[in-house]
Amino acid sequence: MKKSAAFLTVLFLVIGNALPAQSLEDILKEHFAAIGQDSILKTNTQKMTGKMIQGSIEIPFIQMAKRPGKIRVEGTFQDLTFVQTFNGTEGWSLNPFTGVTDPQPMSEDDVKAMRYQADMDGMLWNWKEKGHIVTYEGSEDMQGTPCYKIKLETKEGDTFTYYLDSDSYTILRTNTKMKVMGNEMETDTYTSNYMMVNGIAIPGKIETKVKDQLMATLVVDKVELNIDLDDALFEKPSK
């Protein structure tokens, strides 16, 4: 009887903690509703300002995005400004911290990463049309929060595994495996402190970790949508 009671207790706990069975389509539908996908589709430009924290150093940053597939990131520290730009086809970086004062063309790997980042709709939206493969990998507990696990694989063979909160359907973690110079690079991105801006859920805190070691934290202070952003901002930066 004791063994039977123990078995029933374990079975009850398993059933109680299990997430309701859902299809990939149902989960994505809930996700898009939660993040305000309809409002995202009506957004043509986005500007975020905040700070990047690395150890004891805080670097003010600005990130700008514009359709179709354009993005610019810049950060200033000790009167020096680091800039990355991508116009949808080509990318450049200007990094005076390394002693290089002229803008340099990005490598193919960097251009690929910028192209992923510049997808304003999110990579999960219209994934079939984009040539991605998306699968539902079941549920998994993340630091006490039950999550749906969605895996996306690109045509280039890079993978993005998203952990969606089973209650809010927002993304709590993204595990990324990208090929860089022929080698696989794995990072984890944790998104939290979501705020609603014009009907869109935007994370206010973004932590990047490599092998569980915190590399950088982005804190978003302000988000502006559908503002005028000149196309020149996404071209080759000036010195």
| pLDDT interval class at 145 (50, 70, 90) | very high
Question: In the chain, where are the structural domains located?
Answer: 31-93+101-213+228-234
Which pLDDT band holds residue 7 (cuts at 50, 70, 90)?
A: very low
Averaged pLDDT for residues 18-24 = 72
Residue 135 has pLDDT above 50, yes or no: yes
Q: What is the pLDDT of residues 36-63, one digit of tens each?
A: 999 999 999 999 999 999 988 999 999 9
User: For residue 158, is pLDDT > 90?
Assistant: yes
Q: What pTM was computed for the model?
A: 0.88
Q: Residue 15: is its pLDDT beyond 90?
A: no
Q: How confident is the model at residue 18 (pLDDT cuts 50, 70, 90)?
A: low
Indicate whether 94 pLDDT > 60: yes
Q: Alpha-carbon distance 36 to 198, whole Å?
A: 9
Which pLDDT value is given to residue 171? 98
Q: To the nearest 10°, the Cα dihedral for 136, 137, 142, 145?
A: 50
- Using the predicted structure, report yes or no on whether residue 100 has a pLDDT greater than 90: no
Closest alpha carbon to 44 in 69, 25, 19, 24:
69
202 has pLDDT over 70: yes
Portion of the chain with pLDDT greater than 90, in percent: 81
- Quick one: fold of 31-93+101-213+228-234? outer membrane lipoprotein receptor (LolB), chain A (2.50.20)
User: Is residue 4 over pLDDT 60?
Assistant: no
Bond from prior residue into 96 cis (ω within 30 degrees of 0): no
Q: Report d(CA 149, CA 194) in Å as an integer.
A: 19
Does 139 score more than 80 pLDDT? Answer: yes
Does pLDDT of 99 surpass 90?
A: no
Helix or strand run (H / E) with residue 116? helix 108-117
Question: Taking the mean position of all CA atoms in its chain, how far away is CA 20?
Answer: 26
Q: Out of 88-92, 170-174, 235-239, pick the least confident.
A: 235-239
**In the predicted model, is pLDDT for residue 107 greater than 50?**
yes
Query: How much is the average pLDDT of 117-122?
Result: 97
pLDDT at position 143 is 85
Average pLDDT, the chain: 91
Answer yes or no: is pLDDT of 2 > 50: no
Contact criterion met (CB below 8 Å) for 147 and 30: no
